Structures are given as C-alpha cells and as structure tokens.
Amino acid sequence: MISEGFTKPCHATSLYSTEKWENQGFRLFNAIGLQFHFEVTKETVKEIVEADSQFLLQSVFSVTREGTIDFPVPDENKDSIFSILNTLEREVK
C-alpha cells in the first residue's frame, strides 16, 4: 500500500521533505529510502494509479487520477536516480 510519509530512522540524514510531509527521503549509511519514485515512466505512473486509485481519494496533496496520469514525468529523474546510485557505489567500494 502506498502512503505519504514515514518516520525517519534514528541516525538517518534527511534528503527530501515537503510542506505536508517532513520525511520524503533519507540516507542511512549506504542505504537510501525514498517516499517517491524517480524511476517512473508515463506507463508505470498509469499502472500505479490504476492499482492504487483509492489512495488518491485520501491524499493530503489533493490530486486527481487524471491529473496524476497527465502530469509530465521530469526528464531529470533518470539522471537523479543514477547520480544517487553512483554515489552509493563509490562509497561502498
């Protein structure tokens, strides 16, 4: 089930937050936890919305099914996720 927030683990570093949810991403040693998806495509957004459309009805972000499906996926997402993964890989080596 999808949710909008979580409790950050002890000793984790906050990476992302929003006005509505303080914890949207964190780093804990060589692990990253994200409350969103960098890896989505237009097709996978539609699949996620169709699989969990009830979630949108209770979201604090006041989004619609159509608005979510029609929202453009930023091209930078792919670069961002690879940057995070490359950083973790360098630090583990």
Mean pLDDT of the region 20-41: 86
Residue 87 lies in a domain: yes
Contact 1/52 with Cβ under 8 angstroms?
A: yes
Mean pLDDT of the region 22-28: 89
The pLDDT value recorded for residue 6 is 77
pLDDT value at 4 more than 70: no
Domain count, the chain: 1
Residue 43 lies in a domain: yes
Residue 75 lies in a domain: yes
How far, in Å, are 10, 34, 48, 93 from residue 37 at the CA level? 23, 7, 11, 26
Residue 8 lies in a domain: no
Owning domain of residue 85? 13-92
SS3 state at 76: helix
pLDDT value at 1 more than 50: no
Angle formed at CA 17 by CA 10 and CA 52, multiple of 5 degrees: 95
pLDDT one-digit tens code per residue, 45-92:
999 888 888 877 777 777 888 888 999 999 898 898 899 889 888 887
